[in-house]
Chains A and B, each alone.
Chain A
Amino acid sequence: MQIPGDLDNESRPLETIPATFQTPVQRYIQKTLSAVVDELSSPDGRPSITLKQRFRKPASLFLNPQTMALETRETQTHTTYTWPGSDANEAWRFAVAFRVLAAIAEAVQAGLVVSKRDIYYSDPPCFGSQRVVDTLVDDFAHTIRVDRAALHVEAAAKGLVVGYYQLTTRSREVVDARFSNQDVLIPRVQDIDQIDIANINWVLILEKEAVYRRLASSNYHITSAAGKGILITGKGYPDLNTRAFIRKLFDCRDQSTQRPQFYALVDSDPDGMAIMATYKYGSVAFAHENRNLNIPDLHWLGLRTSDIVAGPDPLGDEALIHLTERDRKRAITMLSKNPVWAADGPEQEWRAELQHMLVLNVKAETEILYDGDGGLVGWLDRKMLSSLKDSQ
């Protein structure tokens, strides 16, 4: 895929600095690689690569009251991988870091976009796991202070979208998705120039692809009693592009006369809650980018334990599943470590929900709504209509 040269320049002010090299990415690569080569060519050289660490400890996380995003307190910590290093592990770490950087350099130079998977499969025994590559790519992006797309590396597109919208790409192509139920992979946000979401009332984010497919195939985005809308799924935990796309819709919501509401329908389990929090506040792994990706005004449509256990239309408790040990551990970690669920945090209802799950030791999947009164569509219509009424 050819990337137009002007694309990368727009969103990154750093690149306007005139320098010998075109972009900070190229500058960084050139500098690092030549330093390594210099060291290697000298008799006692100790080549090294220094990376700025991203924050993985939830302890340093906090919610920024302005952006309502999960952010970290920026304290500079660096890791340096040297060769041969003190042990075999460090030598290996240097080697994989060097190879990932070389792959990025190659992609940047050729103007191609490679996927993290491509890099991994160039030498799986060396990298060991996909995760090693993913972490390094994101660390490089963080070190150079650009986003991952600027490194010409992207994850395979994951999210799906269908809905009543039109978009214009940067190459002036107009995509009219309004009357189609053909779901499409979420387009790269960098390629989108404009999104026209006039006339939509809602954007519904779904955790489950199966639920998404069911709704998309019945044209729920056009036929819903709550008006026209957009259905999106990130298939579990969303990737950056899915989040960026929804954020773009969120930023455009004022152009719609109805000012659409953003809803999340996730499973009633700790992972479902964490997925919803990733959309609303951001993820721990990308705390440095959350402020550009979070959706502060996301409403929790369901699924709640109380929707199933009690409520006017009990869905029956046969559908309930017991929490696994992992679920319980996860819930307790979320309650104790993540500021979103903190006792003085913004989401008291979410906190209570996690505690209900722990006390009742039950969870439920979104699919159980299929069997309820009016099925999934009936349930969604009721929930969204009452919520839209409240918001007006």
Chain B
Amino acid sequence: MLPRTRLLTESLSAAAVGPWSAFALNASAWSHNFLRPAAISLNIPGLIEGLWDSVLRAVPKKKTSHMKKRHRQMAGKALKDVKGLSTCSGCGQSKQYLSCGSADNAHPVDIFALAVTDKQILSASGTSSLKVHSTTDPDFPLVQSIDGAHKVGCHHVVTNGKGSRAVSIGFGGEIMIWSCHDGTWAKDDAASVNKATPADIWAIALSEDGQYLAGVTQDGHIKVWDLDTNGEEIRDYETKGSFGTCIDLSADGRFIASGHENGSVYIFSTESGRMPFSLSGLVKPVRAVAFSPGGKFLAAAGDSKVIVLYDTSSGEQVANLSGHTAWIMSLSWSHTGEHLLSGSFDGKVKVWSIDTRTCVATHSETEKAIWSVKWLSKIGRSVGFATAGANRSISVYREATGG
């Protein structure tokens, strides 16, 4: 049920304030800017002057064909979108996220990955332990440290939608499955990944229900395991063999996207086992791919320093979000699909509006690499996100609420 409602809100909001909003604005602007001067040049008796405006308004509007509008827009002559309605006078940004605490030096070395549940943040780093911080307490206290999880360090940790299961993968290539009971994580002995054929899995993603684990290998294979049936490998898609750097599963579980070192982005259908799209647009290594919550868009980014948005139904590139000046290491969609969060190697964190395709907030609290960014689940009415990286701390930001 949940994915469907998300899909609905997303498509609705896109329809309401997507590219069409520009036309709505254009139409009203036309009537004001062109018809009013004409009214002044006519010598109108004072008697009907007050009426004139309403008379004019009663006249059918000048019809502009869709084609013409479209051409003007494509030629860059259309009126610009009004975006600055609520910009912050201080920084020119339209959204404000305030730092609302951090877990300083949560790990003694770089934090490479974050995973969130509705109450917790799990973090993986170059040390052997995974750490769990609570997000319900404003001090973000450490609630659990899973020591000795990955001897050589851990580079990816993911959770399912419910927050009942987590999977982590270490530098040694070992995959660990964890389950959560009353906020405490323990090794999940019921679940396993059968790695009969040795494959060097690098990035992983977990389905919403936690049953399926998808992974991309260093030689470009995309694999799916059913964790509840002895970790049987149920899918193995082959690509051109370029190192798989990142992977994501759509919320409805129908699609897998993978990003590769040679700049390739692939989308696979888990039902048909086919690859409907091999997406172009990035030439340099891709470091992050992420499906929007409704599955309408796929965002991909990496060393090219731009975020490319693809329409997942057509495979077309629908937008380029540029603004980062360093490699982009991580992407995360807000739960409504309205905003996209990105973190880069120079320590910058940006929030992008999907409606306007612009950057609405930038944070640069550190100059060290940001390895992972994640939206947090809503607490009360405020949304927020967490970032982590080479500065070894987890920083949490919340949207500034009007007042």
Residues of chain A having any CB pair with chain B under 8 Å: 306, 309-310, 317, 322, 325, 328, 332, 335-336, 343, 348, 351-352, 355-356, 358-359, 361
B371 interfacial by beta-carbon distance below 8 Å: yes
- In whole angstroms, what is the CA distance A380 to B245 when docked? 33
The docked-state distance in angstroms from the alpha carbon of A343 to that of B147 is 12
Point out the residue from A310, A322, A356, A361 that lies within 8 Å of B326, measured CB to CB: A310
Identify which of A348, A351, A361 contacts B261 (C-beta below 8 A): A361
Q: In the bound complex, do residue A336 and residue B151 qualify as a contact, i.e. CB atoms below 8 Å apart?
A: yes
How far, in whole Å, are A224 and B145 apart by their CA atoms in the complex? 49
A352:B172 contact, CB within 8 angstroms: no
Q: Please give me the 6 A-B residue pairs with the lowest Cβ-Cβ distance, nearest first.
A: A335-B152, A355-B126, A336-B152, A310-B345, A352-B109, A310-B346
Known: A332-B152, A335-B152, A336-B151. Contact between A361 and B243, CB under 8 A?
yes
Contact B261 A355 (CB under 8 A): no
B369 proximity list for chain A (CB < 8 A): 306, 310
Whether A351 touches B109, Cβ cut-off 8 Å, given contacts A328-B218, A361-B243, A361-B261, is yes
B245 surroundings in chain A (CB, below 8 A): 361
Assess A355 versus B345: contact at CB under 8 Å? Given A361-B243, A361-B245. Answer: no
For A352, what are the chain B residues with a Cβ–Cβ distance below 8 Å? 109-110, 126, 390
The majority secondary structure among interface residues of chain A is helix
Interface, chain B (partner A; CB < 8 A): 108-110, 112, 126-128, 151-153, 155, 171-173, 200, 218, 243, 245, 261, 284-285, 303, 326-327, 345-346, 369, 371, 390
How far apart sit A381 and B251, CA to CA, in the bound complex (Å)? 53
Cα separation A306 to B347 with both chains bound (whole Å) = 12
Chain B residues within 8 Å of A348, by CB:
108-109
- CB B382 to nearest CB in A, in angstroms, measures 32
Smallest beta-carbon distance A176→chain B, Å: 47
Nearest opposing residue in chain B for A331, CB measure: B171
**A residues within 8 A CB of B346?**
310
What B residues does A317 contact at CB under 8 A? 284, 303, 327
Contacts of A356 in B (CB 8 A): 110
Please name all residues of chain B whose beta carbon is closer than 8 Å to the beta carbon of A358 when the two chains form the complex.
155, 171
Q: Is the CB of A309 within 8 A of B327?
A: yes
With A335-B153, A351-B109, A359-B155 already in contact, 9 other A-B pairs whose C-beta atoms are closer than 8 Å:
A317-B303, A317-B327, A325-B218, A332-B171, A332-B173, A335-B171, A336-B152, A361-B245, A361-B261
Once A309-B327, A325-B218, A352-B126 are accepted as A-B contacts, the answer to whether A359 and B112 lie under 8 Å apart by CB is: yes
Of A309, A328, A359, most buried by chain B (CB within 10 Å of CB) is A359
Most B C-beta atoms less than 10 A away, residue of A310, A322, A361: A310
Q: Write the nearest CB–CB distance from B68 to chain A, whole angstroms.
A: 44
